[in-house]
């Protein structure tokens, strides 16, 4: 009788141990990537499926910051494809990053493929993006810290937009964080004929942080937050159901939309490349302007950016790049003051000439002028 009772207790203990292990792995452990499906890579198919993600970095090299800066063009960049990273190198480095983040930066064939594709085919674009990070990452980090979010989310903007605030996808997503119109309005971004805050680095980053917070409250898993940010909670919920509600992202991976499957591997790859740039051989190309060299002023009246540029002897294109949210180069007069970003050394000049700038910005309402012609007309009406 005692032996039977002891056997019963022993069996019950095993059941509880297995149940605890399942519960812990299901809800709390970081995601280990299954190797079978994820390590079977067809390079041509992977490139076709991830074309949108892979082409995003190309936009960074067209940034006006580099067209305005002769020293940027003279900067040393990678002249030939860098050596591919071996599995051993990646496997030895990723765990170090993984220990410092709530994200699961795990290794598999998909991650390996993205790292080496970026190195072989997008090295120069990655170096330009690294330079732009000096302009945008301080903005991201300040806002992420304000909302108690992981700072590694800043790398998501590289995957989303290549740090180009004016990039627009075929589906209509716009800006550094690639907001669709309805999502942007839901999170308080202003969109009208004059202003589209999806392109505003400050406003769009705050909206993205609010969205991240809500998604994490919904899923409690950062990889699922990334997936939901890309394809929407509805698609993630469908994948969860097919994966028996596993919180392991890689178990959901086969059930996600094709265009989303490369999203987290690309995010991990960007984390890896930007943190190990020196060891890999990537060299940051500095833009004409960085975060600590510009500041903002509040605009009280209707103002033409072209008038500001001429009065302060600044490049019109530089001002446009610093203020991408203004769609037709006019800052409208609204109940709440609008914000204009300027190189820091010109803030005093603007304050001294503010009234004159407002006066010269007065012009007829060009309601009959097609939008595509307003830009050149406004620049000539000074």
> What DSSP string runs through 146-170?
HTT--GGGGGHHHHHHTT-TT-B-T
In three-state secondary structure terms, 1 is: coil
Phi, psi (deg, nearest 5) at residue 295 = -145, 180
Q: Maximum CA pair distance of the chain?
A: 101
Helix residue spans in 276-346 (DSSP H): 277-280, 305-311, 316-322
The structure tokens 């890309």 sit at 230
The CB density around residue 230, as the number of other CB atoms within 10 Å, is: 24
Per annotation, catalytic residue among 127, 152, 160, 206: 160
DSSP 8-class letter at 42: -
Instruction: Compute and round to an integer the Cα radius of gyration of the chain.
Output: 25
- Token pair in block for residue 279: 């060891």
CA–CA distance, 75 with 13 (Å, rounded to integer): 65
160 catalytic residue (yes or no): yes
The residues annotated with a catalytic role in the active site are 160
């Amino acid at each position: 009788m005692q032996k039977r009772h002891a056997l019963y207790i022993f069996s019950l203990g095993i059941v509880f141990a297995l149940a605890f292990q399942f519960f812990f792995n299901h809800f709390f452990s970081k995601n280990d990537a299954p190797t079978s499906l994820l390590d079977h890579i067809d390079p041509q198919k992977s490139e076709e499926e991830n074309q949108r993600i892979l082409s995003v970095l190309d936009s960074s090299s067209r940034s006006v910051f580099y067209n305005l800066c002769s020293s940027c063009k003279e900067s040393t960049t990678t002249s030939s494809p860098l050596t591919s990273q071996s599995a051993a190198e990646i496997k030895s480095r990723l765990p170090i990053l993984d220990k410092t983040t709530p994200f699961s930066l795990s290794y598999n064939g998909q991650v390996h493929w993205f790292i080496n594709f970026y190195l072989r085919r997008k090295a120069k674009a990655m170096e330009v993006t690294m330079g732009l990070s000096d302009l945008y990452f301080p903005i991201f980090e300040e806002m992420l810290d304000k909302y108690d979010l992981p700072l590694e989310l800043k790398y998501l903007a590289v995957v989303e937009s290549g740090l180009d605030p004016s990039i627009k996808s075929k589906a209509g997503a716009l800006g550094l964080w690639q907001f669709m119109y309805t999502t942007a309005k839901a999170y308080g971004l202003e969109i009208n004929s004059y202003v589209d805050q999806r392109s505003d680095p400050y406003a769009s980053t705050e909206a993205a942080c609010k969205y991240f917070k809500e998604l994490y409250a919904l899923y409690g898993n950062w990889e699922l937050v990334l997936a939901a940010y890309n394809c929407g909670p509805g698609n993630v919920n469908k994948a969860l159901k097919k994966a028996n509600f596993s919180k392991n992202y890689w178990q959901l991976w086969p059930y996600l939309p094709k265009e989303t499957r490369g999203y987290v591997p690309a995010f991990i790859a960007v984390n890896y490349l930007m943190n190990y740039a020196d060891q890999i051989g990537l060299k940051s190309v500095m833009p004409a302007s960085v975060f600590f060299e510009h500041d903002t002023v509040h605009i009280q009246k209707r103002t033409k950016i072209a008038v500001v540029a001429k009065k302060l002897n600044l490049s019109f294109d530089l001002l446009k790049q610093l203020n991408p949210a203004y769609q037709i180069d006019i800052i409208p007069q609204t109940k709440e003051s609008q914000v204009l970003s300027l190189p820091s050394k010109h803030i005093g000049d603007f304050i001294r000439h503010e009234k004159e700038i407002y006066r010269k910005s007065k012009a007829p309402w060009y309601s009959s002028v097609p939008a595509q012609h307003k830009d050149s007309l406004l620049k000539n009406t000074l």
